[in-house]
Structure 1
């Protein structure tokens, strides 16, 4: 039999403590519906009581929806030992489950509340009794519990002995300051679970040392019954244990544990939270980052074509995503072939070699190349093979200054002979063309007329690697077109012009 673990998402409460993050009432309602309805977490913690009028309205909207869907007992609110003020707030907001914040370390109790354990316990017992009278169920947080277990375990056990006598549903063990190691997580949780076998314990991890996922794994091995997680690991300071990573770890490494979360929805929820908060997802963030299912090295793409040598159990399809093959200076032919297959394009070996060289050249310039750029690169490379290069634009200087006309100095090689000219114009490219005309005037050759000039980027491309300049020329009553491709618009126009010079 698998052990069933509850997942509580606290993005809307603890996650909102991320600096500068505040969800609107409608955003909270949207996420609440998604978290419970599609992602299928067991519970959600949606707010802190008494915070603001906006928070009250958000909770009211969520509880009205949850009541209509039969989910009201899965919506929870953080409350305080405050002589019933939080309970009154909850009652008016329609919430039915309180997560009561109490002191889990003697240090916090002594220096913040300035009370004895007996005084604190008496106030907690009264709160729990009052909550029950108004139909509110109680879970209890032991704030700073991790430091309590390190520095005052006798107080923690005294508290838990008292809590055994109270009508609470869950006791929640937070590593409030994110200080636990994985060995402590296992030791502390297992001690408590063995001593109090009839109580449900949740583990609430923070990520200050980047140990939250490891600590969650050890807390589960120690016997905890529930976990508190946030989308994208949002939360105060370095954030909380991230939902997506923990779900993947449980599914892949802890086969004895069963959870309800629908992992195929994780990416969608992650993107929505990022949109609502304005906090971008790091590209290398496990499961939900842009790069985590992207192979960059050519040897890896080649291995994927040979019995999936570089696959692991984190298949992107599990999370509603697709594997990608990056194009850049470490790309080999295998990466490019994978992208060509997706586009339905084929190249012979020589063409593939030239396209690969061009992509590596762009990568050396730190340009990001996408699959959508590929047809443009192919077109440019193959187009360059359609004529013999007798004219080479060797170098140029383009200037643009306020109050002065743009000017260009250009050096051109024609059949091995070099020419250099300088000219001004209405823009940098116009100045470049005027300098070229002076070069060709010495050779008694008239350049074609420029009759159309268009610039575009590859449709669907999300990079700044390439823009394509398409120039239509007219000579002897006939029109012809040349294209140039570069990350710089003017340079791409110069490349298109160089092709024209070779054609004529």
Structure 2
């Protein structure tokens, strides 16, 4: 039995050309250069399509920057530009920009040819032949796009084959088959590409998928099975309308599901390029986007975290380490003990069963309040819960109303339970917490009891915390010739200070 030969699939990234056609996205020349360099040197795609010819002066300068860098680094043959059937205009633009590979846009469906160009196939073919010849005379390599090819195969197959019969006689390196409007189903993709590859077995065909029906990755897999030798992809699936086939997902699928197929792409660099393009483009990646989304390696349910500890029951082959990422265990109301234990383990912390239960309970309470709890919040929660455990609660702040109005002093109405006795007091202050302390002082004066002196007040949020992050307030008190600290934890700064103060009242 002979082993099947491994098929090498060329990856052409078109983030800088088709991806930039995403609504409201425009990269600067320097951003384009940075993305181009990373794609070729770190991600190691085979080719990149970086622009359309004749678009603008800015585009021209960006292309020049990239071609200069590529020429110095021996990869000018990997830089491609979309061009048009326009006599010598695009060819001259290419020569001035220093680019050596053009992807010529031609009509792949009779519908487009008849209604957009209003030409016969023979007229179109003759014009294409003269542009290809001109490019070759100027030492420019030529690939050819069949725009609207997928609709061409559906509605005018005889035209597509008539065109291909002509094109395979031309000095072109690759023929590019785009599903321009993203209309193909996986079975059609396989059928159409198979029929073409069988008819022209020695020609290099690329498949260019769009994602209008969310089928781009399925279509990519079928195209490769059908014998396509190259794929066009974009970082984060950027592109017009619903975008193009996303690079990270396509590579993951090919590596795991395409038999005897290999690419040159470095999986570990996919997340880095994804974040860079997200930053430069302002085009946000959905949190649940496969491979590169923020949440895709995050387990939330406690049962999943428990299963991960027991022989990785909830792992699939998409291990985060493959893509330079880490598995995370989200903390919230569905967190079980296993989930929290996993997070504590990653921080190098071990707790007794009883303390673990208390911490779990506190996280569930915060989750119910819709608070976002992260791993970096854990030490704060730990400190708060374990601190509270050691104090007998004889004083309890039953209720309070804090007011803060423009041009009026902040005030508080406070209701407090001291050893079963209820006190209510209203006071004003320089700030909400000051008003709260003034009300408290009045109550304690009635009881002829002295309050400690506040000597330091520190507020911290976990590193990288957002505006809804947990906030820890640490207050230092001076009482009967000694200093002690209490902590409070909440997403509201004043409330966390009040919680720290309640702990102080119970300690004294």
TM-score, normalised with respect to structure 2:
0.97
Q: Is residue 448 of structure 2 the alignment partner of residue 415 of structure 1?
A: no
1:63-97 Cα distance to aligned partner (Å, 9 max, x none) = 12212222111111000011111110000111111
Q: Distance in 1 between matches of 2:276 and 2:467?
A: 22
1:346 equivalent in structure 2: 350
Partner of 1:428: 432
After TM superposition, the structure 1 stretch with the greater mean CA deviation from structure 2, 384-393 or 23-32, is 23-32
Asked if 1:367 is matched to 2:348, the reply is no
Distance 2:416 2:404 in 1: 21
Shift of 1:463: 7.1
Post-superposition, which runs of at least 4 consecutive aligned residues in structure 1 deviate over 4 A? 460-463
Query: 1:150 is matched with which residue?
Result: 154
What is the Cα deviation at residue 342 of structure 1?
1.3
Q: 2 CA distance for matches of 1:321 and 1:406? A: 47
Q: What residue is the counterpart of 2:138 in the other structure? A: 134
Deviation at 1:451, TM superposition (A): 2.0
Mapped partners of 2:462, 2:295: distance in 1: 21
The secondary structure found in structure 2 opposite 1:214 is: helix
Q: 1:247 aligns with which of 248, 251, 254?
A: 251
Q: CA deviation at 1:462?
A: 5.4
Deviations 1:243-294 (A, max 9, x none): 0000000000112211111111111111111111112221111111111111
SS of residue matched to 1:38 = helix
Q: CA separation in 2, counterparts of 1:264 and 1:186?
A: 30
Contact between 2:462 and 2:469, CA under 8 Å: does it hold in 1? no
Select 1:163's aligned residue among 146, 164, 167: 167
- CA offset digits 1:444-475 (Å, max 9, x no partner): 11222222211111235457331011111222
Aligned to 2:285: 281
- Report the Cα offset of residue 412 of structure 1: 0.5
Aligned mates of 1:100, 1:501 — CA distance in 2: 78
- The answer to whether the aligner puts 1:446 opposite 2:433 as a matched pair is no
Distance 1:263 1:209 in 2: 26
Which residue in 1 is equivalent to 2:275? 271
CA deviations on 1:135-171 (whole Å, 9 max, x unpaired) are 1111000001111111111111111111122111111
Which residue does 1:23 correspond to in 2?
27
Which residue pairs with 2:73 in the alignment? Answer: 69
Deviation string for 1:122-144 (max 9, x for gaps)?
11011001111111111000001
The equivalent position to 1:32 in structure 2, one of 36, 46, 53, is 36
1:173 is matched with 177
1:225 CA drift (Å): 1.1
- Are 1:83 and 2:75 matched, yes or no? no
Distance 1:265 1:195 in 2: 37
Q: Is the 8 A contact 1:370 1:463 kept in 2?
A: no
Contact kept? 1:182, 1:215, Cα under 8 Å: yes
Distance 1:4 1:410 in 2: 73
Alpha carbons 2:21, 2:240 under 8 Å: kept: yes
CA-atom RMSD in angstroms: 1.2
Q: 2:45 aligns with which of 41, 47, 58?
A: 41
Is 1:187 paired with 2:202?
A: no
SS at match of 1:248: helix
Q: C-alpha distance in 1, partners of 2:484/2:136?
A: 84
Cα distance per residue 1:281-337 (max 9 Å; x no partner): 211111111111111111111111111111111111111111111111111111111
Inter-partner Cα distance in structure 2 for 1:262 and 1:385: 50
Superposed CA deviations along residues 352-399 of structure 1, whole A, max 9, x for unmatched, are: 100000011111111111111111111110110121100000111111
| Range 489-498 or range 256-265, more displaced | 256-265
Gaps of 5+ in 1: none
Q: Matched residue pairs, number? A: 504
